[in-house]
Each structure stands twice: as structure tokens, then as C-alpha cells.
Amino acid sequence: MSKRIIASIIAASILIIALSFQLVGSFIEGDEDETDAMGLFSNSEKLEEKVVERGSSNKRIVELSLEGAIIDNPSTNPNPFGGGGYQHDRFLKKLETIKEDASIKGVHLYVNSPGGGVYESAEIHDKLLEIQEAGKTIYVSMGNMAASGGYYISAPADRIFASNDTFTGSLGVIMESINYQELANEYGVKFNTIKSGEFKDIMSPTKEMTDADREILQTLVDESYQQFVDVIAEGRDMSENRVKELADGRIYSGKQAVENGLVDEIGFREDTLKALKEEIGGDPQVFEYKNNMASFFNLPFAESLMPNSEIRYIEKLISQRQGPRMMYMYTE
């Protein structure tokens, strides 16, 4: 049996197990005592801190990392790939804790993300604004990529750093679906749809998109695009016209982003932290929150058999199975 066939069998098995696991999670959701006892699904545990650099406990800097797609995979349904993946609820909890902690004066946010959902990105953006309103300074350090939604959440920062080789930009909104009507027709597969209104099956993969369908969806995308433009204009103190010149969906290098005013300075994580410590002043303690959300599955054998592209595809099937939606996402 070839390696690729074995990989395909494993991939299918993982997908079935993951979906079954999520179904079980939906049944036990809401029973906090049971989930806490299991230690698998609960997101109610207290955030534990780890001191990175000693200093004043009354003047502290917290280091946060946002890595991966900004998509809400509820804590009851952990992503079975990687080190637990991005946990949206947990990240929001960290932001709320930071806002309420008077000892925290600065936030060092590391962003390494191609973006994600419009809704999730807006949630993080608004939380960061609340943190600033509480009198705290936010510096962003962009990693290999901080594109689309990754830039959306970075825009309100007091200062943004990126390396020359960072990929950022991709400013805009995208909404995609797959249409397999012709393929189904070729194999004699027919679909019976009973609907209450003309547009109830809009973006259905079993029918061609009409001009009326496209017009409706375009208005939704345009609304979210305008919201993106407003966020950049406010966060970067730019005119709307200038933002729209830059927000045509193209990707920018860190160097280009600095030249266009989307990023403040070229630098890495250590440069960002050093600048933030100087801004805060004194001798601030630097800490981070421990990551206690372990992945339910640890599959090094699967990773050794499946190409990364296949793992990412299966991950996408699991995390985006609810159907097409608007995304602030850089698409390769």
C-alpha cells in the first residue's frame, strides 16, 4: 500500500474522529462540572502567569502571541492539529483580564496570522481598543505574516513593528464557495431543494450563482470592506482615500508597509519589547500567560505521512465546515 493511500486513510479517519469529538463536545457543553472534571473542554480555568523578566510588579508588560487563522474554534471543539491551535475564546479572556489588571501598563502583541473571520477580527479589535481606553500601551510585533485580519487587529496599536520580510497588507474582504453542479450532473447526481424564498439557497454549491445573488453578497462584502477601511483610517490616522489606495487586496512586505505608513518601524520581537519597555519606563516586569490548552490529539505519525498542504486542507474542512462566510483572510 502506497504512502499516499495510507495518508489518505489516516486523513479521513482524523476528519471523522474530529467531527465525532466535536459532536460529543456539543452534548456536554454547558455542564461545567463535568467538563472541568474531564479537563478537556473547559475554558473556565484561571489564567496562569509565567514571569519572563523580573521587574516591578506594579508596572508590568504582558506578552501575547496570536498565531494561526483567527477563526472561532470553540474550546469545546479543539482543533486536533498542531499544538492546540488558536483558541478564540481563550484569547478574548486574556484580553479581558489584561483590561481589568491595573498592574499591566503595556501589551506586547506578536501577530503571525493570515487573518480570519470578519466577526472574530472585530471582536479582538474592539477588545484592544478597550485596553487602550483603560490607559495601557499596545505595541505589535508582526511575524512572518500579519495579513488581512492579522492587520485589522494590529491597526489600533500605538506602534507597529515588522521585519523587512514580513508579509502584511491583503487589506480587504473575501467570500468564497465551491460549485460542483457540473460535476454532479456528469455523474447523475441530482439535488432536491425546498426553500422558503428565492435567495434561501444563496451560494449553494449545487446551483449557479445568479446576478441577483452576486449583487446581494457584494453589498455585504462592501459593508465589511468599509469597516476595514474605517479601522485603518482611525488606527493609522490616514485619510479614507489614502487607505482605499492601499487596500486593494495586494500583499506588502514589511519594508513596503513602512514606506506606505501601514507599519511604523522595521524590527523583530526583541526590538518591539525593548521599545515598549522604554515607553513604559522604570523597570517593568515582563510576563506571559501559560498555555494550558493542550491538543487532544498528538499525531506526529500523521504529520510524517501527510504533506503540510493536506493537513491544512483537512484543518480548513473542520474549522470552516459551517459554510461560506466573509473573511479578512489572505488566500494563497
Cα gap 94→77, rounded to integer Å: 19
Cα gap 116→159, rounded to integer Å: 22
Residue type, 249: G
Cα gap 78→295, rounded to integer Å: 7
- Contact between 279 and 31 (Cβ < 8 Å): no
Cα gap 113→143, rounded to integer Å: 8
- For the residues of 76-133, what is the DSSP string, one character each? TS--SSTTS---HHHHHHHHHHHHH-TTEEEEEEEEEE-EEEHHHHHHHHHHHHHHHH
Helix, strand counts (H, E) of the chain: 12, 11
Q: Which residues pair with 251 in a beta bridge?
A: 169
Cα gap 22→211, rounded to integer Å: 37
- Contact between 149 and 225 (Cβ < 8 Å): no
Beta strands in 156-261 (DSSP E): 159-162, 167-169, 251-253
Classified as helix, coil or strand, 62 is: strand
Active-site positions read 148, 200
| 131: Cβ contacts below 8 Å, ≥ 6 apart | 95, 98, 99, 107, 138
What DSSP state is assigned to residue 249?
S
Cα gap 276→138, rounded to integer Å: 8
